[in-house]
Amino acid sequence: MVARPGPWERGRVLAALALLLGLLMVLHGYVTDRAGLGSLVETFLPWFGLGVPVLLAAALRRRSSTALVALLLPVSVWLSLYGGLLADKSRPGGDLTVAGHNVGADNADPAGTARALAASRADVLALEEITAQAKPLYEKALAAAYPYHTVQGTVGLWSRLPLSDVRPVDTKMDAGPLGDAKPADVKLTYTRALRATVTTDRGPLAVYVAHLGSVRVFPTGFWTGSRDRNAGALAEALAAERNERVVLLGDLNGTLDDRAFDGITARLRSAQDEAGNGFGFSWPAAFPVARIDQILVRGVRPDSSWVMPATGSDHLPVAARISW
C-alpha cells in the first residue's frame, strides 16, 4: 500500500507559484521593459493580488500546508505595497479644491460635462483632451463659475483665482529634426501641457496641466514610446520649477507604479496616496481598473482626495483638497 503524501508534501507546484507571484510583485522594477513588458506589469500591479485567493482556494482544496505558508509572501508584499490605500486617510479642512478631468475627444455632451464640473465647486479645474469644436462650449459653460481661464492646445485651466505667467510646456510631442523645425504656432495647436501661476491669499501656486501620450497594446508588445518621452520632458520642467508650491493635474496615461514616472514621483507626491480612500481608479469610466488621472503635489498638504461621478467622458474626474 502506497502512503498518501502528507500536507507538507502536497501542493509544491502551488507553493512555487505563490513564491513566484510574491517575487514578481516585490521585484517588478527588475522586469525587463523590452516591448513594454515592465510598464504593462506595473500598470496592473495591484490586480496581481487577485492571484492570492485563487491560489488559496487551490491550497485549501489540496490541503497543502506548504502552499499555505508560501502564500504568506505575496500577501505580505501586496499589503506592504497597497495596504495603506485601504484606509480612509482624508481629514477635514483644506484651503483650495483642485480637480482634473480628461473630458474625452469623443464626449457627446461637453456642455453637460462642463456644468457637472462647475457644480463640484472646485477652485481650480484642469481639463485635458479639449477639441477645437468643444472648446467654445467649455468656455461658455464654465465662464460664470470661473472668471479666469487659459487653453493651450488641447489642455486648459479654469480658476476662481487670478492666473499669471501662463505658458505651454514642451513635452516633446514631436521627436527629431522634423518636429524641431515646426513653427511655434503650429506646435501650439496640439500642445498637451501648460503651466500657470494661481494667485492665492497664501501665496503663489504653480499649477501644471498635462496629458501625456497614449499607450497601445500591439501583438509585438506594449507601446509606450511617446508617453515615456513626454514623462521625461515633464519631469525636466518640474525640476526647473522654482515655486516651492506645485500641483500637477493630468492624464498621465499610466499608474504611478510605472517606472516611466520615476522622474516625476521623485519630486511630487500623490494626493490620493496621502489623503484618499482606496485606489481611486479613474479609467475606464464604465469599469475603472487603473488610476491614470493624477493629482500630484509639492509644498502643500493634501487633506482629501476623491473620484468624482462619471460624465460623458471615458475617464472619471478626480479632485483633491489641499492646504498650506
Per-residue pLDDT of the chain (324 residues; tens, 9 = 90+): 455 677 677 799 999 999 999 999 999 999 999 999 999 999 999 999 999 999 999 999 999 999 999 999 999 999 999 999 999 999 999 999 999 999 999 999 999 999 999 999 999 999 999 999 999 999 999 999 999 999 999 999 999 999 999 999 999 987 655 455 455 555 555 799 999 999 999 999 999 999 999 999 888 889 999 999 999 999 999 999 999 999 999 999 999 999 999 999 999 999 999 999 999 999 999 999 999 999 999 999 999 999 999 999 999 999 999 999
pLDDT given at position 217: 87
Tell me the pLDDT tens digit for each residue of 225-242.
999 999 999 999 999 999
pTM: 0.92
Residue 1 has a pLDDT of 46
Q: What pLDDT sits at residue 180?
A: 53
For residue 121, give the C-alpha cell: 465647486
> Measured in whole angstroms, how far is the alpha carbon of residue 79 from the centre of its chain?
20
**Residue 258 amino acid letter:** D
Strand order in the sheet with 318-323: 148-152, 155-159, 124-128, 96-102, 318-323, 301-307
Residue 261 corresponds to which amino acid?
A: F
User: Closest by alpha carbon to 173, among 151, 191, 200?
Assistant: 191
* Residue 272, amino acid: Q
pLDDT of residue 3: 52
Within 10 angstroms of residue 142's Cβ, the number of other Cβ atoms is 20
